Chain A
Amino acid sequence: MSLETRPKPVVDNWNRPFWEAAKEHRLLIQRCTETGKCFFPPAPVSPFTGRPKWEWISASGKGELWSFVVFHQNYFAGMKDEMPYPVAMVKLPEGPFLLTNLVDMKIEDAKIGMKLSVRFAGGPQGFVLPQFGPMEA
């Protein structure tokens, strides 16, 4: 698996819980406690109020394929073996979008609007990357 040679995430004080949870195969996002709306990437405050009033929640792990691209140009040495590779924009039912990869399916079968679910196959050393594949029937 070349997931091990993927670029490592930039870990900061706000997204550290997200990456720790991913190792345990949980998808964490922040929820604004005043509006109930979720947001991502992790931040010190809710973008809906500007206040540091939020909580971590476990997302359902479901998503809908909003759009996708296929990279033919390589920008990362550690991803050379994966060329060409897809990147998907997935809309979570909780609200936020994630940029992620499509796995366990052929890119030819990707259809905007299709239902997806999260996978935790692996990642660069010390990390697990949430990726998405077709929702099991």
Chain B
Amino acid sequence: MTAPPDTALAAPVISTPWALRDKVAFVGIGTTQYGNFPETDSFGLGCDALNQALDDAGLRPSNIDGLIVNRIPSYERFAEMMGINPQYCLLTETPGRFSGVSMALATQAIATGAAKTVALVYGNNGRSVRMTYGGGDSQWSPWGMTSPGAIHAMMWRRHMHQFGTTHTDLGHVSVAFRSHACLNPVAVMHGRPITLEDHANARPICEPLKLLDYCLINDGAVAWIMTSAERAKDLRKPPVLLSGYARQDAFHYGSAPPDDFWYPSLSACRSVYDRAGLGRNDIQGLGIYDNFTPTVMFSLEGLGFCKQGESGEFVRGGTLQLGRGRWPTNTSGGHLSDSYMQGWGIIAECVRQLRHECGERQIPNAQAMQYICATNIAQSAILRRAA
């Protein structure tokens, strides 16, 4: 169904400076290895990631008074395991759009005094439990329609028809992120470079999308620790501030793939620049939610890096590739070539870039990074290194 005409997505109210600008910082980051680990589970992986984040920040579990868990089945059991008795605690929904939502909730909690220091822990054992992200009963299952991949395939077929983009255009995204994975020693696809031909000749999964348009399902966990910018100054690592965050939801698609590539709601998120007080020229690199290659294109168009329909042309020539283009994106390899940690790993990589911890894949002089997530909860955030 089309949007009711009175649904205004321009959201002028979020174009004003953000009340939470630079108030909250990332102070601890932890990431496990990504792979097939049947000997543990999302609890075990989450504990590992959180311990790494605590060590990174120089904190102990007793310093944590806020806890947000995601894809770990029970916040109570997780808190019990880690010996955390917070004053603020919740479990957020499973889709990857909730990584950014969780970040915003933690920021609000810290800014309002609901908690001082929040641990956000994502743990997923999707590979060892053979998670398929498809199948099961749904509105459309009698017709065989299922899986997020198919939704994006449907959108990309329409995009090609409407704007003249091609499947090859998506290859430039896959190849750029794989080249980053080859610079990241812990990326799942490290040491396995690909070419545009590999992308074109890959096994079809849900046409027009093929294997190398899909992200990598693995076991793994990511933890972030966030606290006030003031408290962050006393901790071990250079604080990375959340300068701006914008979000616009759009739920009016009648349960079918959106007919507008989320363009109106992503466009509303361009207010992130006003909110952060930073312009596009102040930003050195991007973290884009890449569950499938088309979401990268929708993100670039929606946030105005190119005009709608011109993302294919925009990504040609290595625009997203470190050392080649203006907009190095997903320098860890992203969901496509590092692992599908549902945005959690991508935001962790933005923080590490801003701390200048990325070795061979470091973006020179990274001062600010922008995160974009194209879903029915469209979001963008700008993170910056504290001066």
Contacts and interface: CB of A to CB of B under 8 A. Distances in A.
Given A72-B203, A72-B205, A47 B144 contact: no
A100 B208 contact: no
Contact of A39 (B146, B209, B254): B254
Interface string A96-137: 111111000000000011000000000110010101000000
Given A67-B161, A70-B206, A87 B145 contact: yes
A9 interface: yes
B142 A71 contact: no
A41 B208 CA distance: 26
Contacts of A7: 137, 141-142, 144
Given A47-B1, A47-B4, A66-B158, A75 B146 contact: yes
Interface residues of B, number: 38
Contacts of A96: 1, 254
A88 to B, nearest CB: 9
Contact of A76 (B4, B141, B155): B141
B279 interface: no
A127 B142 CA distance: 10
Nearest to A89: B154
Contacts of B137: 7-8, 10
A63 to B, nearest CB: 13
Interface string B157-200: 11001000000000000000000000000000000000000000
Interface residues of B, dominant DSSP: loop
Interface in A62-106: 66-73, 75-76, 79, 82, 84-85, 87, 89, 95-101
Which of B137, B144, B259 has the most CB atoms of chain A within a 10 A radius of its CB? B144
Contact of B155 (A8, A47, A67): A67
B139 A10 contact: yes
A110 to B, nearest CB: 10
Contacts of B158: 66-67, 89, 112
Contacts of B145: 87, 99
B4 A75 contact: no
Contact of B254 (A40, A68, A82): A40
A33 B1 CA distance: 16
A98 B255 CA distance: 9
A101 B257 contact: no
B132 interface: yes
A123 B142 CA distance: 8
B57 to A, nearest CB: 41
Contact of A69 (B141, B206, B255, B259): B206
Contacts of B60: none
Nearest to A7: B141
Contacts of A47: 1, 4, 252
A82 B144 contact: yes
A129 B153 contact: no
Contacts of B12: none
B142 A73 contact: no
Given A47-B1, A97-B254, A129-B143, A72 B259 contact: no
B139 A129 contact: no
Nearest to A110: B157
B1 A6 contact: no
B281 interface: no
Contacts of A79: 144
**The 7 residue pairs across chains A and B that have the minimum distance between CB atoms:** A75-B135, A67-B158, A70-B207, A7-B141, A75-B134, A69-B153, A112-B161
Given A7-B141, A69-B206, 10 more contacts: A37-B4, A39-B254, A40-B1, A41-B139, A41-B255, A70-B206, A97-B256, A112-B157, A127-B142, A129-B143
